[in-house]
Amino acid sequence: MNRVSILSLFILLMAACINNNKPPQRVPVAEVGKVVLYYDELPKLIQKGINEADSIAIVQNYINKWAKRELLLQKAGQNMSREVMDEIDKQIEETRANLIIYQYQRQMMLEKMDTVITDAEIENYYASNERSFTLNSNILKALFIKLPAETPDINKIRSLARSNDQSDLQQLESICYQFAEKFDDFNEDWVRMDRLSIELPQEIENEENFLRRTTFHEINDSSSVYLISIRDYRLRSTLAPFEYVKDDIKRIIINSRRFEFIQSLENGIYNEGLKENSFKIY
């Protein structure tokens, strides 16, 4: 049964307003059956600037929610079969054990596992596992610009976008910051072709032929001009460039190390148990 008194709420509010340097006393604020909710179990609900009536309403709402949940929990516990309750206890114990083991493994990895991966390791893995790095999509390095149709001196922007000269590209960037609706420079990073295609008003039907034949592409609609200057590309089903998969290889190596570390940790503890006769097999 939920027994919340105005006195308890008053004590609660007073405790929140009195010297915060003193540790909170064990003040009961609600009770359901034999389960008691204490003031120090409540989250910090009352904030500065809230009047007393609103504060009481906030606390009362929290207590009511707690009571509903506790009543439901107790009712469920009374009506569950012994078999179901035993299975729940088993699952709880298994979850607890898994959490403890996980936290211990994580702690040991943070303290003792080598996480430094050299470029040489990444390059060796790439060279030894080339078949694992076949592209499943077309990728490219490119410059993408979307301009309003009325942008002044678009011919100059077209010319600058085609250039590979660094000073031209800096000038292009300055102009695009003034006029462009979108300016993405992927000259240094490989990106999937579909990432750019989705920006265009018309679908590129055959990406492979498009990439083979195109270094500069322009599309117009009623409101915008779309420019793509292609610097490099790789087709699907070919070997992925090293830079494109470098981060993936790092993750593969570190995950492999995690697996090996955990295996070594488990085997070490097991062998230690054998040596010290910490367990018996009957």
**How far is it, in rounded angstroms, from Cα 141 to Cα 229?**
9
Q: Is the separation of the CB atoms in 64 and 70 below 8 Å? A: no
Cα Rg of the chain, angstroms: 33
Structural domain boundaries in the chain: 6-79, 113-134+240-282, 135-234
Partners of 27 in the β-ladder: none
- Please tell me the pTM assigned to this model: 0.71
* DSSP codes of every residue in the chain: -----HHHHHHHHHHHHS-TTSPPP--EEEEETTEEEEGGGS-----TT--HHHHHHHHHHHHHHHHHHHHHHHHHHHHS-HHHHHHHHHHHHHHHHHHHHHHHHHHHHHHH------HHHHHHHHHHTGGGGB-SS-EEEEEEEEEETT-TTHHHHHHHHH---HHHHHHHHHHHHHH-SEEEEEEEEEEEHHHHHTTSSS--S-HHHHHHH-SEEEEE-SSEEEEEEEEEEE-TTSBPPHHHHHHHHHHHHHHHHHHHHHHHHHHHHHHHHHHTT-----
**How far is it, in rounded angstroms, from Cα 43 to Cα 59?**
10
> Which fold is adopted by the domain 135-234?
Chitinase A; domain 3 (3.10.50)
**How far is it, in rounded angstroms, from Cα 14 to Cα 190?**
62
pLDDT for position 21? 57
pLDDT in tens, 173-198: 999 999 999 999 888 899 999 988 99
pLDDT for position 160? 93
Q: Is the separation of the CB atoms in 217 and 145 below 8 Å? A: no
| Maximum alpha-carbon separation in the chain | 87
Per-residue pLDDT of the chain (282 residues; tens, 9 = 90+): 444 444 455 555 555 545 555 555 678 888 898 899 888 887 776 666 677 777 778 888 889 999 999 999 999 989 999 999 999 999 999 999 999 999 999 999 999 999 999 999 999 999 999 999 999 999 999 999 999 999 988 999 999 999 989 899 999 999 999 999 999 988 889 999 998 899 999 888 899 999 999 999 999 998 999 999 999 999 999 999 999 999 999 999 999 999 999 999 999 999 999 888 888 777
Nearest CA-CA partner of 192 in 237, 238, 244, 147: 244
**How many other CB atoms sit within 10 Å of the CB of residue 108?**
14
